[in-house]
Amino acid sequence: MLRKLPLIPAALLLIMTVLAAACGNPSTDNHSHEPNNSPKSAETKTVKDALNRDVTVPVEPERIIAINNFGELAALGVKPIGTVDYYLKNHDPAVTQGIESIGDQEPNMEKVTALSPDLIIISDYLKPEVVESLQKIAPTFATKFGLPAFEQLHVVAELLGKTKEEQAFRVQYDERLKETKQKLQAHLKPGETALVVQFYNKAIYTFPINAFPTIYEALGYTEPDKAKALTAPASLSEEVLPEYAADTIFVLVADQAAEERFKEVASGPVWKNLSAVKNNKLYVLENVRWSELSAYNMNWQLTDIVTKLGSK
C-alpha cells in the first residue's frame, strides 16, 4: 500500500508518520565530519545534528542546498541555490524562482557538486550511503524528521544564525492567526468538532491532532470522541465513518486513484448522511500544502482556510 520512501519530505501525512516511527537514526560514527572538497566560508562552527554527528558548518553559509527543510528556509527568508523537484513543483513560483533542481526522488550528486554548496540540509531518514556521498561534497546537516513545525524552524534558524528572522516570523504568524480567527468567528464556534480525512489510493485515513496543527491547535477545532485516542494514522472503512462524525469535515485527496475513490464514497448513502455533509460543512483542501508540515506552510494555510470557509 505504501510507496517506497522518497528522499524528500513526504507529501502524505500517512507516509510521514510511518517513516518517523520506522526509520530511526542510521548508525554512523560520532567523530567530526568534514568534506574533502567543499568550499568553506572563513568562519565555521561545529554542531551536533539529528544523526548524532559533529558537523563543521559555515557560520554564515551562502550557498545552501535544501534536500529537506525548504519550508523552514522560506519562513526565514533564505533562498537555497538548489533543491529537489518536490519543492519546486509544490511551492509558489515567487519563492522557487531561480533555484536549481538537484533531482527528483534522489539528489543527483553531479548536480549537487556542480553548484558548489557550502552547506547541505537533509532529514535524518536519508540512507546512510546518500548522507556519506553528500558529506563528501559539502558539510551536510541532518534535521530530525517529524518535529513540530516551530521546533523544526528553531533548529534551522539556530543552524543558520537566523534567530532574529525566526522571531520576526513568529510575530507575523501570531498576528495573522489572530486576524484569521476574527475573520472566521462565524465558523469557529466553541466546541466545534472537525475531522480530517485523507483519501490515498483506494483507502481512507484519519490522523492524530498533531498532524494538523492549523486545524486543531491554531483554530481550536476539537476531534470527535472516536478520534481523540489516535496516536497514529487510522485506516477507516466507509461503514465506520459515522462513528467519527464531526460538525465539519476536511478532505484531502492524494492522487488519481484517491480521486476516484472519493467520488465513489461521496456518492454513497453513508457519506451523504454524515451531518457535516448534510449541513454543507465539507471542505476539500489542497493535499500537498496541507500534508507537508512546516511553519511556512502553516502560514499559507491561514490564508487558505479563510478562502475555504469564507466561501460558504
Average pLDDT rounded to a whole number, residues 61-76: 97
Q: What is the CATH number of the domain that holds 298?
A: 3.40.50.1980
pLDDT band for position 186 (50/70/90)? confident
Strand extents, DSSP E, 127-265: 140-143, 194-200, 203-206, 234-236, 248-253
Specify the range with the lowest mean pLDDT, choosing from 19-28, 58-67, 198-207, 303-312: 19-28
Residue 134 banded pLDDT, cuts 50, 70, 90: very high
pLDDT tops 80 at residue 298: yes
Question: 137 and 90: one domain?
Answer: yes
pLDDT of the residue at 1: 31
Residue 55 belongs to some domain of the structure: yes
**2 occurs within a structural domain:** no
Rounded-to-integer distance, Cα 284 and Cα 286, Å: 7
DSSP H helices in 207-293: 213, 256-266, 269-272, 275-278, 287-291
Q: How far is CA 135 from the centre of its chain?
A: 24
> 230 and 137 in one domain?
no
Whether residue 93 is found in the same domain as residue 205: no
Q: What is the mean pLDDT of the chain?
A: 88
DSSP 67-108: SS-HHHHHHTT---SEE-HHHHHHS-HHHHTTPEE-BSSSB-
Per-residue model confidence (pLDDT) at position 187: 85
Number of domains within the chain: 2
Whether 4 maps to a domain, the answer reads no
Do 81 and 194 share a domain, yes or no? no
Residue 12, amino acid: L
Is the model's pLDDT at 279 over the cut of 60? yes
Of 100, 135, 164, the residue that ends a domain is 164
Q: Is residue 310 scored above 60 in pLDDT? A: yes
Per-residue model confidence (pLDDT) at position 312: 60
Q: Mean pLDDT, to the nearest integer, of 229-258?
A: 94
- Give the structural domain span for 219: 179-310
Residue 201 scores a pLDDT above 70: yes
Which of 1-10, 137-146, 186-195, 215-224 is least confident?
A: 1-10
Q: Taking 60 as the threshold, does the pLDDT of residue 13 lie above it?
A: no
Name the domain boundary from 136, 164, 192: 164
Averaged pLDDT for residues 254-274: 96
pLDDT surpasses 60 at 18: no
Which band of pLDDT confidence, cut at 50, 70 and 90, is reported for residue 311?
low
Judge whether 237 and 290 are in contact, CB under 8 Å.
Answer: no
Q: Say yes or no: 27 and 147 in one domain.
A: yes
Q: What is the pLDDT of residue 78?
A: 97
Confidence of residue 30 (pLDDT cuts 50, 70, 90): very low
Q: Would you say residue 205 has pLDDT above 80?
A: yes
> Does the pLDDT at position 19 exceed 60?
no
Same structural domain, 98 and 203: no
Calpha distance 274→80 (Å, rounded): 45
Tell me how far apart the terminal alpha carbons of the chain are, to the nearest angstrom.
35
Question: Is pTM, for the whole model, over 0.75?
Answer: yes
Asked if 142 and 58 sit in the same domain, the reply is yes
Residue 170 lies in a domain: no
Over residues 70-93, the mean pLDDT reads 96
C-alpha cell at 228: 481523540
Residue 5 has pLDDT above 90, yes or no: no
Which among 135, 164, 193 is the end of a domain? 164
pLDDT of residue 74: 97
